A = this chain, B = another copy of it.
Amino acid sequence: MGHYVPHTDEELATMLASMGLSSLDELFEVVPAALRLASGLDLPDGRSEFDVLDELEAVAGRNRTDLICFAGGGAYDHDIPSAVKRVAFRSEFVTAYTPYQPEVAQGVLQALFEYQTMIARLSGLEVANASLYDGATACVEAINLAVAATGRQTVWLSDGVHPTWRDTVRTFAAGTGHDIVDVPLSDGRTAWPETGEPGALLVQFPNRLGCIEDLAEARKVADRTGALLLVAFDPVASGLLRTPGSFGADVVVGEGQPFGTPLSFGGPYLGLFACRLEHVRRLPGRLVGETVDVEGRRAYVTTLRTREQDIRREKASSNVCTNQTLIAVVAAIQLSFLGTAGLRELALRCARASRYTRESLLAIDGVEPLASAPTFREFAVRLPVNGETIVDRMAEEGFLAGIPTDGGLIVAATEKRTRSEIDAYADAMRKVLQ
């Protein structure tokens, strides 16, 4: 019970017989006998979908989903319109694969073309790819591009980048041999070294403490040192703030989860990647371009394929093959839903909720700002009790209080947070800190 092979026993027999075989086991005679599993896998037998759904609902019930979310750190609790979910999960998008045959894949290709356009606009750069895995691995790809472009192995990595993203960068640097130099923050902003010859600067905008980095300054440092400026951005910020591209970023990466993807315990999310046109031949991942068919009709196709691993093999710009297309389609739909006015409004509402939360917390005795730099939708506070303890105690009050950091807590608010929720949150914090 439970398997999804449609063949009836009779059909199996007929097919086997037509090949001169008499049992399914004979299909595996090429496998040396010693390697064949004698007694099958040590897994329970299959079950009906109803039994499985019941079990997984029970498992899911052992997560706390009732907590009102003030955590961010690259994963934000946004409202998702019904229309976005329903259209994005149409089975044509869900059950297709990479558009190898463009003639029957114009749906996904055009959606990706629109997605690329939107991400390019959000980043302020000329070209965006069709997705990478997530924000963290997009940083890795950005560094690889920069090192290849500059021929320099040294990367200045701002401490303002999310800690897990920095970890990821370091993990992959063990393979590429890049020299990752940590650059500390000072009062919430990156304090770039005076000297050095980095191939790249990687800075986050706003950074992990929510502070808005000085990208003009970063650009100057990049110009002075001859490095490329890589910016990991919060794409929602572009609804309110100038784009990283407008400050002169060479590569912009980011996490696209805020555009229509639920928190999902961290995945699948969406790695955003955009760069200046001059770097397009080093772009990792897929790129969709507009062209025409033999009858001259507008058509879309994956292009500049010679960068990619399936053609370029060991010399490819990246090893990425399967990426996050469906999540990119989700983002394209969500961004279409928001539109110009909606994106602005979304950013404003995040910023307002964040400011109101910040003011409410700072009104509590013993709560201090962790940095004085301006923030957008996330901010950090110093607390008299350590962050982990606060998160545990606040969970008892019904809140996911934020993300603990050295000496404090990083708190995020989105358009989903209301005054009454924020007031209750501040009251609970007051209680917990007493």
Contact = CB atoms under 8 A, between A and B. Distances in A.
Interface of A: 49-50, 53, 79, 81-82, 86, 90-91, 416
Given A86-B91, A91-B86, A416 B81 contact: no
Nearest to A89: B86
A82 B49 contact: yes
A88 to B, nearest CB: 13
A91 B88 CA distance: 12
A90 B50 CA distance: 22
Question: In terms of DSSP, what is the predominant structure of the interface of chain A?
Answer: helix
A75 to B, nearest CB: 19
A53 B50 CA distance: 27
Contacts of A90: 90-91
Contacts of A416: 50
Given A86-B91, A90-B90, A90-B91, 5 more contacts: A49-B81, A49-B82, A50-B79, A50-B416, A53-B82
A90 B81 CA distance: 18
Nearest to A79: B50
Contacts of A53: 82
A82 B4 CA distance: 14
A13 to B, nearest CB: 18
Contacts of A81: 49
A377 to B, nearest CB: 18
A192 to B, nearest CB: 42
Nearest to A83: B49
A49 B85 CA distance: 13
Contacts of A82: 49, 53
A95 to B, nearest CB: 11
A90 B53 CA distance: 22
Nearest to A53: B82
Contacts of A79: 50
A91 B90 CA distance: 9
Contacts of A50: 79, 416
A389 to B, nearest CB: 31
A233 B23 CA distance: 45
Contacts of A49: 81-82
A115 to B, nearest CB: 22
A80 to B, nearest CB: 9
6 contacts: A49-B81, A49-B82, A50-B416, A53-B82, A86-B91, A90-B91
Contacts of A86: 91
A262 B53 CA distance: 16
A81 B90 CA distance: 18
Nearest to A80: B50
A277 to B, nearest CB: 34
A50 B80 CA distance: 8
A11 B218 CA distance: 45
A50 to B, nearest CB: 5
